[in-house]
Structure 1
Amino acid sequence: MKRLIGILMVVLVAALAGWAWTRTLPMATAAAPRVAESAMVDGGGYGIYGWDGGLQVVLIYEGTVAAQTCDIDPADGAADEVYRCTIPFANGTTTQWSIRSADGKTGRITVDGVTYAVPREATVLRINGDGVGQRVTAYQRILPPLTLGDASRTLEQWMARDAEFAPFAALFRSE
């Protein structure tokens, strides 16, 4: 009986020590972006997201967007999921994407089931809603620093200097 009580005491102490140790580990919670802007304009739209840790992601929607619905820190999402959006285009095509980041320095963006490491694999994603050809194109670009309240203007000026994005700059200038 004394042996059984001794074993139970050792197990209890080990369990408490393990629990106490896990409480000292950092929590993997979502790092909310400090810059989050989106706009829908004739023939397209965009989403701009920037974190204090330096992570920046830009989504460009090519095609008329009917409306967008987004959940911030979705309750049914992973601990580090920050945004989840559904983008229905006017032609009936729908795109879903989500951003995950625990530290605001790196993360993952998943668009229609394809995951990209950000910023390593992509910083700009162009989503084509016309239903023809490649739907998502990922670009690895060094973005300018985007600040709250000024992100869309800064992005528009940056896009105007990039041959691939210049047509979108003109579109967003009319916003």
Structure 2
Amino acid sequence: MKRLLGILVVVLVAALAGWAWIRTLPIANAAAPSVAESAMVDGGGYGIYGWDGGLQVVLIYEGAMAAQTCDIDPADGAADEVYRCTIPFANGTTTQWSIRSADGKTGRITVDGVTYALPREATVLRISADGVGQRVTAYQRMLPPLTMGDASRTLEQWMARDSEFAPFAALFRSE
């Protein structure tokens, strides 16, 4: 009986030690985007993000920008936060956004405290720094399939055919 009890104690201690060790390992985020492209161009910029699960989101920035800072899988973020960026505009306004997705199929994007469900409420977000502050406009569109390396060209062609986005197609062309 003592022997059985001793074995159980050893197994329990080993299991707890293993569990504690595993909790110290970094967590690989399976929902990180497989397509992530961004650029700053004259008078604006953009960010393109796509996941293997099918989720896609495009951010269009209107207004001259300073250098953006982004964190992939931020250490101080929520477990499903995969991207966080701060965009300072030349007029002094700053926009911060973050994308959360646990599965790469659905998610949420929060822009300056306002949250949109992806893809149900938004697939394209236009952030305009107009000198007074910024305006965020969310659009729900069926985006073309985006792949690493040619996402900006694909979006430029798609945007040129959409009357609301045709003026922004040049942003993707000039990159």
Compute the TM-score of the two structures, normalised by the length of structure 2: 0.83
User: 1:106-156, CA deviations, whole angstroms, 9 ceiling, x for partnerless residues?
Assistant: 000000000000000000000001244861000000000000101000000
- Residues 30, 101 of structure 1: 8 Å contact kept: no
- Residues 29, 82 of structure 2: 8 Å contact kept: no
- Residues 99, 107 of structure 1: 8 Å contact kept: yes
User: 1:69-123, CA deviations, whole angstroms, 9 ceiling, x for partnerless residues?
Assistant: 0010000000000000000000001000000000000000000000000000000
| Greater Cα shift, 7-16 or 58-67 | 7-16
- Residues 93, 134 of structure 2: 8 Å contact kept: no
| Greater Cα shift, 134-143 or 6-15 | 6-15
- Residues 35, 148 of structure 1: 8 Å contact kept: yes
In structure 2, relative to structure 1, the CA distance for the partners of 1:102 and 1:116 (3 Å cut) is: same
Residue 164 of structure 1: aligned partner: 164
Does residue 34 of structure 1 match 2:40? no
In structure 2, relative to structure 1, the CA distance for the partners of 1:173 and 1:17 (3 Å cut) is: closer
Residue 97 of structure 2: aligned partner: 97
Q: Distance in 1 between matches of 2:6 and 2:131?
A: 68
| Greater Cα shift, 110-119 or 19-28 | 19-28
**Distance apart, 1:54 and its partner CA:** 0.1
Q: RMSD value over aligned CA atoms? A: 4.2
**Distance apart, 1:171 and its partner CA:** 2.9
- Residues 159, 168 of structure 2: 8 Å contact kept: yes
Q: Unaligned stretches of 5+ in structure 2?
A: none
Q: Distance in 2 between matches of 1:48 and 1:103?
A: 18
In structure 2, relative to structure 1, the CA distance for the partners of 1:89 and 1:20 (3 Å cut) is: closer
- Residues 60, 124 of structure 1: 8 Å contact kept: yes
**Distance apart, 1:172 and its partner CA:** 2.4
In structure 2, relative to structure 1, the CA distance for the partners of 1:30 and 1:132 (3 Å cut) is: farther
**Distance apart, 1:9 and its partner CA:** 12
Q: Distance in 2 between matches of 1:152 and 1:72?
A: 20
In structure 2, relative to structure 1, the CA distance for the partners of 1:3 and 1:36 (3 Å cut) is: closer
**Distance apart, 1:170 and its partner CA:** 1.8
| Greater Cα shift, 10-19 or 22-31 | 10-19
Q: Distance in 1 between matches of 2:158 and 2:31?
A: 26
| Greater Cα shift, 23-32 or 131-140 | 23-32
Percentage identity across paired residues of the two chains = 92
| Greater Cα shift, 37-46 or 163-172 | 163-172
- Residues 86, 96 of structure 2: 8 Å contact kept: yes
Residue 106 of structure 1: aligned partner: 106
- Residues 155, 172 of structure 2: 8 Å contact kept: no
Q: Distance in 2 between matches of 1:174 and 1:77?
A: 33
Q: Distance in 2 between matches of 1:54 and 1:14?
A: 41
